[in-house]
Amino acid sequence: SVPAPAPVGAISQRAEATGGLTLTAFAVAVWTLGGIVILLHMFRGIVATFGLRRSGTLSGGANWVAEAQAIAADMGIDHVTFAESDQSQVPFVCGVIKPLVIMPVAISSWSADKRRAVLLHELSHVKRRDCLTQLLARVAVAMYWFHPLTWLAAHRLHLERERACDDVVLLAGVRGSDYAQHLVDIANAAVSSRSPFAAAGVAMARRGRLETRLMSILDPQLTRTSRRSTRLAVGAFGLVALAAAS
């Protein structure tokens, strides 16, 4: 016997269901691929930083470390170590649980004022646990990379972190014009560097980012935030990133 043909309506429903399933699977695959690419980029940065951390020279006996430890003590920080590296011209902080401040080897030739300003800035990142907020922001971007507000919020969060630390430096008595010159000098040295970590310096020296920071630093009318309000502001931007992603 010949089987009866299926109703046209049933065939149409099955086709629509198959098409919907295929579209959903495609969307999930694209979302997953985008998230993996961002996570791989983040993981690559973590591995590079870990290698730099291992290759850095622990600076327990360097002349500037005593000064750095004194500044850290004044800021109430007792869980940070310091190192020098010839692979990066940009000072930065790495480590969420055990923060490490990595400084360029050129720090020994810096003036006392420049050294103090840079240490104040980097130790402010440690004080505020910015490595943790940076990690959370990157995870949020990886999960919701398709949402433009997530990228905007993450960029804003990064900018506000830097400006908040700049405010700490200026509130400590460093002249804005001197501090701005220090940042320009570091950015120029980083851009001209051929080290594998020069990309961090190039990112720092991007015209938009650097100009925004310099304008803020040199603005005499700008009210500098306190440490408490700064933490609240940065926390708010973090929540904006997660809320925008949701």
- pLDDT (tens digit per residue) in 75-120: 999 889 898 888 778 888 988 888 989 898 888 889 999 999 999 9
98 contacts 81 by C-beta, under 8 angstroms: yes
- Token pair listed for 150: 């997530």
Q: Which pLDDT score is estimated for 202?
A: 43
- Reported confidence tier of residue 239, pLDDT bands at 50, 70, 90: low
Spatial neighbors of 92 by CB under 8 A, at least 6 apart, are 101, 102, 122, 200
Nearest to 181 by CA among 237, 102, 111: 111
C-alpha–C-alpha distance, residues 110 and 68, integer Å: 14
Nearest to 159 by CA among 127, 203, 101: 203
The DSSP call for residue 105 is: G
C-alpha–C-alpha distance, residues 87 and 65, integer Å: 19
What's the whole-model pTM score? 0.78
Unique residue bearing structure tokens 């961002």: 38
Nearest to 131 by CA among 90, 161, 159: 161
List 83's β-bridge partners, or say none: 58, 102
Spatial neighbors of 183 by CB under 8 A, at least 6 apart, are 210, 213, 214, 217
pLDDT tens digits for 196-221? 544 444 455 465 678 888 998 998 87
Higher-pLDDT residue of 88 and 70 is 70
Nearest to 102 by CA among 63, 156, 52: 52
C-alpha–C-alpha distance, residues 125 and 134, integer Å: 11
- If you write DSSP's letter for every residue of 208-222 in order, what string do you get? HHHHHHHHHHH-TTP
- Reported confidence tier of residue 121, pLDDT bands at 50, 70, 90: very high
Nearest to 122 by CA among 140, 141, 104, 97: 104
Cα(first)–Cα(last) distance of the chain, in Å? Answer: 57
